[in-house]
Chain A
Amino acid sequence: MRKSDVFLLFLAIHILLFCFMFIHASMRQKAEMEFVREKREMVKALELTDLCLFTEANYTRHLSQADLHTPFQDSPLSLEHFPSGSLVEPPKSLRKTNEKVD
């Protein structure tokens, strides 16, 4: 077998896998939509506001409900020490300003 044949075969297999990735994604989306709807219904029924992604601190558990000083609640010099604090930003509603001062 020529080297080019081996390479082209390798490429063809990977292109097939690449295409299969999209097919798989679309199949999984269809199959899991039922669970997504279930979660949506639960959010509606329980009036939930946040995803359970970061459970290490209460202000990262409910990101959209956090207040202004929660990362520093232990003391003013207690710098943010939870790793998820470096992953996510504070909610938009806390960052908006009422008036430009300069």
Chain B
Amino acid sequence: MRKWIERQRNILDFTLSSLSRRKRKNIALISVYTLVVFFLASIVFFTHSIRKEASIILKASPEMIIQRLVAGRHELVPMNYIDKIREIRGVSSVKGRLWGYYYDPITGANYTLLVSEDGQPAPGKITIGEGISRTRLVFEGDTIEFRTYDGVLIDLEIKNKISSESELISSDLILISENDFRKLFGTPKGYATDLTLQVKNPKELSTIAIKIAELLPDTRQILRDEILRTYDAVFNWRGGIMIVILLGAMLAFIILAWDKASGLSSEERGEIGILKAIGWETSDVILMKFWEGMAVSLSSFLVGIILAYMHVFFASSVLFEPVLKGWATLYPKFRIVPFIDASQIVALFFLTVIPYTVATIIPSWRAATVDPDTVMRA
């Protein structure tokens, strides 16, 4: 065993010396390789964690949302729809929800205004999300001026701020009283933005949705499952720019591996020829090339993965921020919970380390099986 270890170490020593003879080329190779792994792993870590967190948090969202559509657009829902829906067997509760967007010309940001039954602020007071406080530089006790639908300016006092820990769901949120909401947007009494519904038995949800669609044909129903599926599809690898980034990275890697697999440089061939001529076995040459592949790919893989983890979970995906932010002036600051999936890391390993190592060994095996004299003369 000791002899076997010593042999491996000797070959590794030789491999590292051989790699250091082509220092610049190999440093460039390792840097590009690390960068490809870093980008792929950063995307995998970020998308998986955000989808996982969304699936946990949004499981508590309403079982069904009922919107009214008029000429293909959202329209306010009359509250008398609630009585009609309540008559359907299996419905346990129906409530009207009041919410909307308010564009603030000072910051250029859209706020989400919401009337909550639970802990509704008193008239004239509001509770704001951390993102609004940060962007607008307003704090508890300050007032924010709003322009109502008929052009009247009203001042609402900030009573509370929502905890910064929940920025992922509340950064742009303003909780407002029902009176102030109706005054601001001119929403008439007896109307709500949409309805939320709870059922007695979740298995009956789709049947109840069909019944509502028959009873109220001008409505559309959004089930909680559809909300969850929407967030499962967000950052899906097939979606939008993700596929472009992944394709770019994969193509770069394929070129890298192809260059390696398509043949050895004359210097490398000469080296194999000399090694064979001084008595190295073909298996020794293959072992040397195996260590070479491992030295390059395993170190790049490990460094790339560790850097990606630090990027996503310590530096809040700072490189992705411009893409995610877009043109938004109000952007939530949040730390993602590191939900990492070992199977994705294994998949990355098999996509990067294994093909590269095999691509290093095969041409060397071919060169090593030919007569040393021929290899050296070629």
Instruction: Assess the B166–A64 pair: CB atoms within 8 A.
Output: no
Instruction: Assess the A88–B234 pair: CB atoms within 8 A.
Output: yes
| Interface positions of B from 43 to 68, Cβ below 8 Å from A | 50, 53-54, 56-62, 65, 67
Instruction: Assess the A40–B56 pair: CB atoms within 8 A.
Output: yes
With CB as the reference atom, state the residue of chain A lying closest to B338: A25
Question: Which stretch (B249-257, B303-311, B368-376) binds chain A?
Answer: B303-311
| Interface presence of B165 (CB below 8 A) | yes
Instruction: Assess the B62–A49 pair: CB atoms within 8 A.
Output: yes
Q: Point out residues on B near A: beta carbons under 8 Å.
A: 9-10, 12-13, 16-17, 20, 50, 53-54, 56-62, 65, 67, 69, 72-74, 95, 97, 101, 109-110, 112, 114, 116, 118-119, 129, 131, 162-163, 165-173, 175, 194, 196, 220, 222-223, 226-227, 229-231, 233-236, 239-242, 295, 298-299, 302-303, 305-306, 309, 313, 323-328, 330-332, 335, 337-340, 342
Q: How far is the CA of A36 from the CA of B337 in the complex (A)?
A: 9
Number of A-B contacts (CB under 8 A): 216
Chain A interface size, under 10 / 10 to 19 / 20 to 34 / 35 or more = 35 or more
With CB as the reference atom, state the residue of chain B lying closest to A84: B326
Instruction: Assess the B58–A52 pair: CB atoms within 8 A.
Output: no
Instruction: Assess the B57–A39 pair: CB atoms within 8 A.
Output: yes
**Smallest beta-carbon distance A75→chain B, Å:** 15
Max chain A C-beta neighbours (<10 A), residue from B56, B175, B326, B342: B326
Contact of A48 among B61, B72, B73, B298 (CB under 8 A): B61
Instruction: Assess the B72–A68 pair: CB atoms within 8 A.
Output: yes
